[in-house]
Amino acid sequence: MPTNTQQSRGSARKNKSSNLLLIIAKAFFISSCIFALVVMGGAFIIRNYTIIPPPVPPAISSTATPASIVVEPHADDLGIGHGLRAPLGFTDEDRKELFYTFLIMGLDDGINVDTIMVASYDGIENVASIVSIPRDTLVNVSRRHRKINVAYPAGRIHGGSAEAGIRQLKRELRSIIGFEPDFYIKIDFDAFVRIIDSVGGVDIDVPIHMRYEDPLQGLRIDIPAGMQRLNGEQTLQFARFRLANPGFRTISDFERVQNQQAVVQAMLSSLITPTSLLRIPEFISIFQENVSTNITASEMLWFASQLPDIHSSRALSTYTLPIARNSGPPNWYEFADIPATLQLVNSTINPFTMPITENDVDIAQQ
């Protein structure tokens, strides 16, 4: 399956476009962490486990938590939204066989959500898909701050736990994609740099001399062109690069996506080598410090056994939620394109045998 990446419209202001691209860059790093997770778990578990696929989780209609939590007005007006509608008509019998979905979220400072992704793995076709959700995407909730990335902190603040934040984010994602992901993976971005350094870096063919400085971000990128082994920090910079200093070439959004995909493939190649498997205790330590998930040890083992089958560009596809327009300042919301969103969801991450329709989502348009 050829890789197909969709970007938000180019009419956004320069700084907002840059922020969104940074989110997408981090999103691709998140995808590599999924595979890092299963490799670490699979190699670490005792070998006499019987490797069987995880049971397909029940349909949303039988397990979904209520779409709203009614709370008293809050001084900061970060109350959890309500009014989300549950999908209609899905049952356990409607789930695809050996098809699993994941919510992947990257946090800054433990509560600020920088990256939201929904991934899927089809164990029959041995294909994986990753859809990044722009954090400024508008959701149909009642709180003042209606961006999707507010769901987690709102749920955490009012629910009193990280689990409450994850539940709220899953509810609000359901209004956009029509289902709640089966598993979640919550990640500290520093883990990427540490994991890449732990495997001794990754081999990347850098297409051009990347040179860019942004004092406001404390960012300095200076990576020469050519095939080379990049350490963790350099790999992060490679994935973030788009704008360049005067005299150096700025790359297009499409080229940036290609670079990010090269990082994912290089990361996978490094992680599945015998040398890397010998360093599992170090990886496990990094994982335990930076990643929170509801994937069990036995489930990790099965996902790990599938890894060789999806280690190719034909079996891993990456996308971005289609955006129809943006609101502009001062709030700057991204409005999902309803027909294009449904088409993308149904062709990639939909866990049901029947298509998700407009009756199953509640995509805000104002």
SS (H, E, C) 47-105: CCCCCCCCCCCCCHHHHCCCCCCCCCCCCCCCCCCCCCCCCCCCCHHHECCCEEEEEEE
Q: Is residue 324 part of a domain?
A: yes
Each residue of 108-160: pLDDT tens digit?
666 777 778 899 999 999 898 988 888 889 998 877 788 998 899 888 888 88
The structural domain count of the chain equals 1
Question: What is the pTM for the complete model shown?
Answer: 0.72
Residue 250, helix vs strand vs coil: coil
Each residue of 207-261: pLDDT tens digit?
999 999 988 877 899 999 999 999 999 988 888 788 899 999 998 755 776 777 6
Higher pLDDT among residues 88 and 132, named by residue: 132
pLDDT at 103 over 90: yes
pLDDT band at 33 (very low <50, low <70, confident <90, very high): low
Q: Which domain holds residue 79?
A: 14-189+292-360
pLDDT band at 364 (very low <50, low <70, confident <90, very high): confident
Write b or e for each residue in 107-117: b if 16 or more Cβ atoms lie within 10 A of its Cβ, otherwise e: beeeeebbbbb
CATH code of the domain containing 63 = 3.30.420.590
pLDDT band at 10 (very low <50, low <70, confident <90, very high): very low
How much is the pLDDT for 62?
36
C-alpha distance from residue 304 to each of 7, 41, 44 (Å) = 30, 7, 10
Task: State the chain's mean pLDDT as an integer.
Answer: 75
Residue 11, helix vs strand vs coil: coil
The whole-angstrom separation of Cα 192 and Cα 71 is 37
Strand blocks (E) in the chain: 99-108, 112-122, 127-133, 183-188, 202-206, 210-214, 219-223, 226-230, 291-293, 316-320, 323-326, 334-336
Q: Is residue 71 part of a domain?
A: yes
Q: Is residue 277 part of a domain?
A: no
Higher pLDDT among residues 359 and 78, named by residue: 359
Mention every residue, 6+ apart, whose C-beta is less than 8 A from residue 218. Answer: none
The whole-angstrom separation of Cα 360 and Cα 366 is 18
**Whether the Cβ atoms of residue 156 and residue 165 lie closer than 8 Å to each other:** yes
Q: Is residue 129 part of a domain?
A: yes
Q: Is residue 96 part of a domain?
A: yes
pLDDT at 38 over 80: no
Higher pLDDT among residues 90 and 211, named by residue: 211
